[in-house]
Amino acid sequence: MKTSQSLVIFLLACTISLLLPSVSQASGIEPPLLSVSGQGMAQAAPDEAVITISVTNHAADANTAQQVNASKASAIQNAIKALGIDDKDIQTRNYSFYPTYSSERGQENEINGYQASNSILVTIHDLSLVSQVIDTALGYGANQISSLDFRIRNTEKLRKEALTSAIRDARNKADIIAQGLGMRIVGIKTVSEDTGSMGHRTYSMAMLAKSNAMEDSTPIEAGTLTLDASVHIDYILDN
């Protein structure tokens, strides 16, 4: 009987010990963390340019304003196609047509003409044609280059390079700090990242007009584009 009671007490003690949390779990002690941010960047030459070309004109009557604008826009598009730009890379971005009013006192509500504006978006895959496209458009009646943006079609490789650089920067900082504290990195708790958008280079109409006045053709330099990335990592430390 005594042996039977002892066995029951032993089994009960084992069951209770399994149900109770360990001392370390019960204490709720978290390992020390080291929070570090890292920055990285990657650069590459653009492989695409997008130009917005506009032709705007004013005439006393609506029909003339519309016809003149249509004629100039058509001539510009045909001339650009002749340079080797595909039809699919030329598209109308915006078209507007509206009456204009007199600014003379007492005649503010009187229509004094009509203004038509047509904007054409041109995508160029051969960057050596950028200057020619601009000069050709201006020569055929365009009176505004609304924007000129250089781009990179596939940014995945560049993004990977920037993030890799940012991670390396964060780890280097963490190693220096951990060593200075007499500790070592044993793991990672959390990671977050932020990759910026590609920068772009825009030329204004004034810049292009000034360049055109000094040169036979508009000088355009594509340069390089930069992609920035940052990471925030919480490292787990131990003695």
Task: Check residue 147 and give its pLDDT.
Answer: 84
Query: What domains are there in the chain, each with its CATH number?
Result: 48-151 (3.30.70.2970)
Task: Check residue 213 and give its pLDDT.
Answer: 46
Task: Check residue 24 and give its pLDDT.
Answer: 36
Task: Check residue 12 and give its pLDDT.
Answer: 38
What's the pTM? 0.69
- From first to last of its 239 residues, what are the pLDDT tens digits of the chain? 444 444 333 333 433 334 444 333 445 678 999 999 999 999 999 999 999 999 999 999 999 999 999 999 999 999 999 999 999 999 998 999 999 998 887 777 889 999 999 999 999 999 999 999 999 999 999 998 888 889 898 889 999 999 999 999 999 999 999 999 999 999 999 999 998 776 665 665 555 554 454 455 667 777 888 999 999 999 999 98
Q: Are 37 and 170 in contact (CB under 8 A)?
A: yes
Task: Check residue 23 and give its pLDDT.
Answer: 37
